[in-house]
Structures are given as structure tokens and as C-alpha cells.
């Protein structure tokens, strides 16, 4: 055999085999890369869809939060107005009950004397010595003066002056005055005073005259019968 001729054709054969193997390996490599690229594209699309869904949920939550914040602001505004508004009178039934109690109190009064003294109940109230310290303890910063009728819920300076004009100048004398007489005093001041409700004024004045300051303050905090 001529080995020189064998070398001429075996080297090209070896080179061809090597090229074939390299081509196969390169084909596998690039093919795998393409498949991976396709897989990544699918994952990217899925992520985009998920992101869009989450963004939609976030937008919905943002709108809901804005709506709730608006409702909260509205509620806070209404609450603030309610706190600033005058205290509304209690129910009609409670007011009627108060008037009924006042009428029952007035039913036991004596007749007015000839010199037009205030009409009094059968049991006149005799006040105790005024205790300024006890009054201050109950009312805090509010200054309480002895026989100041304005301590009664519903009585202001003008109404107090009307009672003074009818010789009702002390807590004890107001406590001994019937509700009907209190209404007469109010009527003497004109129509603008007729809207006031004196049903509990004698009762409040009695607590003041007897030095029951804590009880009076508690009652006034819980009721508003004296105001129009």
C-alpha cells in the first residue's frame, strides 16, 4: 500500500469528521439558545400581564382610599359642626314630663298676698349658709356668687333682673316660687321671654339654696330643660 496516498485522503477525511462534529455541537448550542430566548419571552409576557393586573388592583385601591378619605373628612366636618352647635333640647316626652312636674309643684302653692308678694309653695325653702369653696369645687373656674340667680340653667342676666323686679332675689325665694309664677315673671318681660321653660328653675334654685352644688352641676350637665 502506498502510505503517501493514504495520507492524502485520510487527512481530509479527519478534517471533515471534525467539522461535522463541530457543526453538530454549534447547531445544538444555537438551537438551545433560541429555545431559551423563546422561553424567556413567554415569561416576560406573563410578567407584563401580571404587572398590568397588579397595577389595576393598585389603581382600584387608590380610588377606594381616596373615597374613604373623603367620607372621613365629611364625617369629621359634621362632627365638628355638631360640637359647635347649641345643645338641642331633650325629647318632647321629657319636656312634657318636666312641665308636668312643675305643674304638680305649683299646685301646692299659697295664694298671693295683698301686697303682691311672690306666690310660694306650702313648704318654703330655707337656705343654708353659702359655701363658696364647695361651689367652686363643683363649678371649677366659673365664679359662683351668693344668690346669683343666673346659676340656674336657663336664667340669664335679663331674666334675673325680671325676677328681682318681682322681689325674687334669692335662691330660697326662687325655690319657693311656683312654676306658674315663674312663667308670669317671664311674660312680664314680653314675648321674647315667653319661649323659655321655667319648669325646673325652682328645683335648681332649691339645690343651690341647700348647698347641693355637686348634685346641681351633675343635673345641669345631663339636662337642658331650662333653655329655650
The Cα 187–Cα 48 span in angstroms is 82
Q: Answer yes or no: is pLDDT of 17 > 90.
A: no
| pLDDT at res. 124 | 81
**What residues contact 102, with CB distance under 8 A and at least 6 apart?**
179, 198, 199, 200, 202
Q: Which residue did the predictor score with more confidence, 224 or 219?
A: 219
Question: Which regions of the chain does DSSP assign to beta strands (E)?
Answer: none
Query: If you average pLDDT over residues 9-22, what whole number do you get?
Result: 81
* Predicted confidence (pLDDT) per residue in 145-201, tens digit: 999 999 999 999 999 999 999 999 999 999 999 999 999 999 999 989 988 999 999
Query: If you average pLDDT over residues 114-121, what whole number do you get?
Result: 40
The Cα 127–Cα 211 span in angstroms is 8
Burial of 184 by CB count in 10 Å (0-12 exposed, 13-18 middle, 19+ buried)? middle
The Cα 3–Cα 153 span in angstroms is 135
Q: What are phi and psi of 126, to 5 degrees?
A: -110, 115
The Cα 116–Cα 165 span in angstroms is 12
| pLDDT at res. 97 | 53
Amino acid at each position: 500500500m502506498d502510505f503517501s496516498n493514504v495520507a492524502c485522503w485520510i487527512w481530509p477525511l479527519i478534517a471533515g469528521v471534525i467539522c461535522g462534529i463541530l457543526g453538530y455541537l454549534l447547531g445544538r448550542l444555537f438551537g438551545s439558545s433560541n429555545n431559551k430566548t423563546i422561553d424567556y419571552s413567554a415569561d416576560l409576557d406573563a410578567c407584563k400581564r401580571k404587572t398590568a393586573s397588579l397595577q389595576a388592583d393598585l389603581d382600584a385601591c387608590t380610588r377606594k382610599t381616596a373615597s374613604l378619605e373623603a367620607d372621613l373628612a365629611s364625617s369629621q366636618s359634621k362632627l365638628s359642626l355638631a360640637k359647635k352647635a347649641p345643645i338641642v333640647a331633650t325629647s318632647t316626652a321629657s319636656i312634657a314630663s318636666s312641665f308636668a312636674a312643675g305643674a304638680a309643684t305649683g299646685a301646692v302653692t299659697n295664694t298671693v298676698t295683698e301686697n303682691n308678694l311672690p306666690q310660694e309653695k306650702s313648704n318654703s325653702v330655707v337656705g343654708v349658709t353659702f359655701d363658696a369653696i364647695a361651689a367652686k369645687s363643683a363649678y371649677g373656674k366659673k365664679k359662683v356668687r351668693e344668690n346669683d340667680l343666673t346659676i340656674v340653667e336657663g336664667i340669664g342676666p335679663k331674666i334675673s333682673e325680671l325676677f328681682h323686679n318681682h322681689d325674687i332675689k334669692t335662691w330660697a325665694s326662687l325655690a319657693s316660687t311656683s312654676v306658674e309664677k315663674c312663667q308670669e315673671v317671664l311674660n312680664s318681660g314680653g314675648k321674647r321671654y315667653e319661649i323659655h321653660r321655667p319648669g325646673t328653675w325652682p328645683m335648681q334654685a332649691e339645690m343651690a339654696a341647700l348647698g347641693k352644688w355637686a348634685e346641681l352641676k351633675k343635673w345641669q350637665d345631663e339636662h337642658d330643660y331650662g333653655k329655650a
